[in-house]
Structure 1
């Protein structure tokens, strides 16, 4: 019998496992991951940005966990010798009508405790990023770059060194909550546990439905973000990170430029509906999963509300010239021939029945389970803080 079973070996599951073993060494904790290695999905496909906490509503779980998690992440990396760089970024208003939203971000950043934010004229922006264009901007010094796969592997190493068990290549097939214990059945065995912690990312709603007999009133809608790489001879166009002012009604940050910790520059991502939860390519289709998405009332409301934005994202997905045009709003010199095919990630975006795309982290609790059902960006930056938040909820049960 195990005290706690954690489902999901992404950065949030690993951070939760590590925090539990650090806070309560005698607790027996098993982490189950269906892949042959950790960080294979959202964690291993993200852009490697250390987020500052600029965008998030003050007092929200995103804001509080990002700000606390930021410091915890940097401290962890300093202790473990994991390289990172706090290079800063600029957020650019490319049109006059975006300046009010830029001002809102500036105020929000100050409320979230970010020091050193600077409003910029075009001339000042070009001192930082010589090839950028826009009508106004803001410098955010706290933003950085890192390799979250490396961070996750170190979490796993530390967790196991503390006596935690990591079970790879093992897929959870059934969870049966009981009065005193839950039964977790995988393709390799059967476990009895006092508590299930669900950090299954793209399948977190599916696991939550197993742990809560009444079900949960949200679904994960997968959005694929596709990137291009900038050809090496054009890396000089981007010194660090260049972001647009995001659409306040849409939970994505827009196409941007990111210098990577291991070298190179990425451009993107767009945000298109993935036809499979782990669909990293346009050709990846799972008919059952796609049908579940399309028939979810919440998604239908989202599609009705954002169809024009969605069509634009889809058009950019299939048109390199359209993608280039979006990038040219930030760097006019970029050309279609400067872009090479890059990778893609899939974001697990929770959507409720009313058509709300959940903006904040969502943690749902039942008698025998704690379900982390919405942990999009900045979950990687916030991982140790989210892990602490979840572990405190776990330890309150023991």
Structure 2
């Protein structure tokens, strides 16, 4: 869909892109300068496979401030983007004959990698009635004798749903009855929260310490998607195999990006605060605009920078509406079915775009729906 949008733009069509999942902000200047300085200072060679020691220490310190407990820098692995953590974790636990629970609607790479590993994907429904937060009770009910890994994501892509601490408490407690099950917690949007919400990280639960893999990084929080820089925190028993996989696949993450990541974590945070405030204002704009459209309703997302409007009232399946919006209205969106079978009846709208483009995009959607006779 996004490739088709670019092709139409190349033909001279006016396209409002509400499909891309990356901040439209630039990294803070001190981050860019740190990378430039690293290059001028001669950091052109390989780094340790697990990452620069000072960067691993900074990651551990940052995670300590969020989890409220001491953490070991030796269990941090620096990786070239968040997907690598998914790949390593699912590669470790996925094989024919086992099951892996994952969110649906959810980031499509989860299911893709589960199937690639030979494991059976077991969807964990995220329901609109629950604000697209997962239910710990439902998650635990899906665990069977063949379950080896549970994947959770909060704040979530594509829904913007945020699971409250009370559900995390229930999940952590219930997992004590399933010692064979590991957890991959995707917390890449953990600092993009609204209305005073606090991030509930599974890293805070010491009882999960030896089977929790945490995924995070710089892409969303620091607007560094193209830098391909992420990190993960591993159980003591898995960090050495994870590093070995790193050595045998990507060798190490490029040095300049790591120095930039260090500056991002340890330097001024005003740019993050300002970006989050801008997203909060855009969120209100988008939700209000979507709820004013015929046939569309939209719950207010609690985090990330996505809205996930219900479009069942339009009478069109998600993929049909996605195509019509791009081809006839010049608006790029993503059908909810791109994120799982339970995404039917929804679109993903990214509000990582200017207020002007958001206004124009929603107006174009409204015009198309009126032309289609939706009321």
Query: TM-score, normalized by length of structure 1?
Result: 0.27
Q: TM-score normalized by structure 2?
A: 0.28
Q: Whose helix fraction is larger, Structure 1's or Structure 2's?
A: 2
